[in-house]
Structures are given as C-alpha cells and as structure tokens.
Amino acid sequence: MTLPPINTSQLVSRAYRGAILHALAKDELVYLADGVLLVDAQGMITACGPWLEWQEALAGVAVIRCLANQLIVPGFVDTHVHLPQMAVAGCQAPSLLEWLDTHIFAEEARFADADYARTISEWFLSELLANGTTLANVFLTSHPGASQIAFETAARLGNRVVMGQTLMDKQAPDSLLRPAAQLLQETESLCRQWHGANDGRIQYAWVPRFALTSSEELMSGLGELRRQYPEVYLHTHLSEQLGEIAAVKAQFPWASDYTEVYERFGLLGTRTVLAHGIHLCDGELTRLKALDASLAHCPSSNFFLKSGRFRLMEVLRRQLRLGLGSDVGAGPTLSLLTVMKDAQYMQADTLVPLATLFYLATLGGAEALHQGHRLGNFEPGKEADFVVLDFPATPVSHDKPSVQSPGTSEALLSRLVYQGHQQWISETYIRGQRVYQRAPIVQN
C-alpha cells in the first residue's frame, strides 16, 4: 500500500469550526462546545477560541465546519513503539525474555530483506496516522538499510517521528548483532543524514535496546555520541520485568540498581526516554528526576507481558517528564485511545483523573519528547497537529433525535477514554497538512 506524496497546495489558511478539547496542563483542560481553530499557511496555529468571538473577524476566510458528533483534539503522542514488531503484535509468551526469543528477534531479522522492510515501514507509518498519532518515538531494527528505508518512508508520508537504528552487540541472534564500533559508525551516519530532516518533522535517537544486549564498549561509545550531539535523543528500555532486572544485576554486578548501569555510561539526561520503569525504587526515581530523563508508560504492554504495575501517581507527584506509549508489539494496538483506558485500569485502587490521561496522551507526551514548546495543544504559535474524531452515532439521543452530540466535556472525555477506538479517527493533520482521512463507508 503506497500513499500518494503530500500535496503542498493543501497549505492554505484555514479555520476549523467544531467542538474542541485540549490540555493546558496535567489538570487543566479547555473545552469549547462551539470553537474555532485557526491555522495559517505555514501550518501554525494562530488562534483557538469560541466561534462567537471570532465569527466576525473570519468573514471571507474558508471555514471548515465539523459535524455535530465530531471533536477536534491535538494529535496523539506515542512515546514508545517498535516499527518492526507490527506484524507480530498480539503473539504471547510467558515473560519478556521468552517473548523476545520466541517472536521478536526472528521477526526483526526479516528486515535484512529491503522489500519486507519497505512493506512493514509503509504499513506501520500509515497506521500511526490512521490512529491519530502525530508524534511517535520509534525503535527500528539493527539493520542500517532497513532504518534508511523507514526514514525515507516517514519523510514521504509526512510522519512526525523520533527514530533510530536499534543497537545490539550481544545476547541476541547473530543476524541482529554487529560489533560496537560498526554500530556506532552506522548510527552516527544515519543521525547526520536524518536528524532535523523534513523540515524538523524527523528527529534522531540513539537506541541501545536495553542493558542486556549492550556491551560496555557500546554504551560508553553512545555516552560519547550524546556529549557530541546534545540535541539528539537516547531511547531505551528500563526496569520492565523482575527476571530482566535479575539478569541485569548478574551482568553488571558493580551497579547498585538498573538505573546506575545507564548512568555510569552517561546515557541519562535531558532527551533520554526510558520505556516502562515499572520496578524503579524511590532512589532511582529521584535520580531520574534530577537528571531530567523522561519515562514512557506503556500500560497495554504491561498487561500483555504481565510486567507489573507502573507507579503512575507517584511519578506524577514527583513531576517527572512522562508520556504514554503503545509499545507495539508487546502492546497489541497503536491506538493511544486504548492506551489511555489501560492506564486507568492499570491503577487498581486509584481513579486517575480523566484530564490527566488526556494530558499524558497529548501535551505530556510532547513534553516528555521535549517538543511541548511547539506541539501538544492549541496555543497560538504552535504547530497545527490535530485529529478530528467521530463519536459514533447512537439510535437514541438525549435532546434532538437526529444529532448525536458528544455532550458535556466531562461525559465526552469519559466516553473518549473508555470507549475511544481507532475507528473514531476521521482525519489527522500534521503541521496543518492532512495526512490521513478515513475512507467513507460505502452503503450497499
């Protein structure tokens, strides 16, 4: 499946009128039952406010009117996901390490074939857009050729991504391993080519898979690259399962905890994104906060692999940078709508405020990826990344029988979190350009 290239003639100044919801902070939402979002020719937000206040000023401007059952929200941010696991999402195994051995490494090895890499890259990156994900932090495979194909595909489809070649030099099948020196060279060369590409939509990350597949030579080389390129991300896994943590303890006996392994090699700091962090102790959380590292909470994956319960309320209380991740393929779906619901259900005894879940899926994710100053909500001056959602029609309505209005902001957000589904995504925009539109349903 190949999508056509983006038509830049779509870049005209537009006004989108409809119900609008966005987050200003973890506990502060703005809801406009009849609002308008103004986007300039460069795809930047010029204003967002009540229609009645803007109506007069907008005489002569093309206004796109959303339907009564639609809602405009900021694009979703997936802070941790694996492109090469798309085809094996939902294949279960008893533990993380067995799942990697049984399903994942064999699938990732298939990316040595350029045609396969191209097919899955196109599928994955277009599915991100179909799920309303306008920024994703993405693991690739260890093949530089397949990584190159993924970057080219993202540039062609218009995705906003942070991505990097996955680096492993031990404890995986030989076909996925390379000597540390070669990996460091390959990843630096990809970084030089792609960091900041497609007018800033594409960013690069150093991606050591996790401590168990990384030699000390690889990690110290990456520490050096981090010093050399402070604007580049580092993305890895941390403290996901007890079996993994025990293996890390055995492999790095000098480290007092898992966090110290990465810390020792200079891998932690601003722009480090750590997936999971389920079993972190208080001391590790304190150090991660002091270092300004970000966490990616992936509840759907944590349910699937039975990894444990993330200390969500404690991490929020400590104000670490935090976003949500689908973690496909340990997570079964790319939908951040489903991930929000799972984040709620994961907390057994606490009702997580709906506003917080919505913040984490949008602005919180953007802040975790250090892009909150330009994305994540509808403040003027930010880039217009947004999604038009359809609330499904019901045969009954509380007021007018023919209009399925989403209702009050609290009810609407609650339905979004508990019932929201990929099929609700009608259109997706990145920097004002439409990058996805759901095909109309043909009635026979």
Q: How far is the CB of 101 from ligand GUN (least distance, A)?
A: 11
The helix or strand, by DSSP H or E, that contains position 115, with its residue range, turns out to be helix 114-130
Q: How far is the CB of 96 from ligand GUN (least distance, A)?
A: 6
- Verify binding: residue 327, ligand GUN, rule CB under 6 A: yes
Among 29, 38, 39, 96, binds ligand GUN (CB under 6 A): 96
- Verify binding: residue 235, ligand GUN, rule CB under 6 A: no
Give the list of residues 6+ apart from residue 406 with CB closer than 8 angstroms, or none: 19, 69, 71, 391, 412, 415
436 binds, among ligand GUN, Zn ion, none (CB under 5 to 8 A by kind): none
| 262 vs 429, beta carbon nearer ligand GUN | 262
Tell me the sheet residues that pair with 64: 16
Q: Are strands 425-430 and 386-390 parallel, antiparallel or unpaired?
A: antiparallel
- Interface segment toward ligand GUN; rule CB under 6 A; list 96-104, 112-120, 260-268, 339-347: 96-104
Beta strands in 287-344 (DSSP E): 294-297, 321-324
| 26 vs 276, beta carbon nearer ligand GUN | 276
| Residue indicated by tokens 């006004």 | 15
Contact 417, 358 (CB under 8 A): yes
Binding letters toward Zn ion, positions 72-111, x by CB under 5 A: ----------------------------------------
Among 194, 204, 206, 210, binds ligand GUN (CB under 6 A): 210
26 binds, among ligand GUN, Zn ion, none (CB under 5 to 8 A by kind): none
| Residue indicated by tokens 């994305």 | 375
Q: How many CB atoms lie within 10 A of CB 68?
A: 15
148 binds, among Zn ion, ligand GUN, none (CB under 5 to 8 A by kind): none
| 322 vs 387, beta carbon nearer ligand GUN | 322
Find the binding residues for Zn ion in span 19-58 (CB under 5 A). Answer: none
Q: How far is the CB of 205 from Zn ion (least distance, A)?
A: 13
Cis before 18 (ω within 30): no
- Verify binding: residue 367, ligand GUN, rule CB under 6 A: no
Contact 211, 262 (CB under 8 A): yes
Task: Tell me how far apart the alpha carbons of residues 413 and 404 are, in angstroms, rounded to a whole number.
Answer: 15
Task: Tell me how far apart the alpha carbons of residues 104 and 164 are, in angstroms, rounded to a whole number.
Answer: 18
Q: Long-range pairs for 343-348 at CB < 8 Å and ≥24 separation?
A: 343/297, 343/299, 343/312, 344/417, 344/418, 345/299, 345/303, 346/299, 346/302, 346/303, 346/309, 346/310, 346/312, 347/309, 347/312, 347/313, 348/309
Among 14, 82, 103, 341, binds ligand GUN (CB under 6 A): 82
- Verify binding: residue 301, ligand GUN, rule CB under 6 A: yes
The string over 170-194, giving b where at least 16 C-beta atoms fall within 10 Å of a residue's C-beta and e elsewhere, is ebbeeebbbebeebbebbbebbeeb
DSSP string spanning 342-382? Answer: HHHHH-SS----HHHHHHIIIIIHHHHTT-TTTSSS--TTS
DSSP, collapsed to helix, strand or coil, labels residue 32 as strand
| 39 vs 328, beta carbon nearer ligand GUN | 328
Size of the chain in residues? 444
| 169 vs 327, beta carbon nearer Zn ion | 327
210 binds, among Zn ion, ligand GUN, none (CB under 5 to 8 A by kind): ligand GUN
Q: How far is the CB of 118 from ligand GUN (least distance, A)?
A: 21
- Verify binding: residue 327, Zn ion, rule CB under 5 A: yes
104 binds, among Zn ion, ligand GUN, none (CB under 5 to 8 A by kind): ligand GUN
Binding letters toward ligand GUN, positions 240-259, x by CB under 6 A: x-------------------
| Short-list 244, 235, 239, 242, CA closest to 273 | 235
Find the binding residues for Zn ion in span 257-286 (CB under 5 A). Answer: 275
Q: How far is the CB of 16 from ligand GUN (least distance, A)?
A: 37
Q: How far is the CB of 334 from ligand GUN (least distance, A)?
A: 14
Task: Return the structure tokens found at 14.
Answer: 């537009």
390 binds, among ligand GUN, Zn ion, none (CB under 5 to 8 A by kind): none
Residues that bind Zn ion (CB under 5 A): 275, 327
Contact residues toward ligand GUN (CB under 6 A) are 82, 96, 100, 104, 209-210, 237, 240, 301, 327, 330
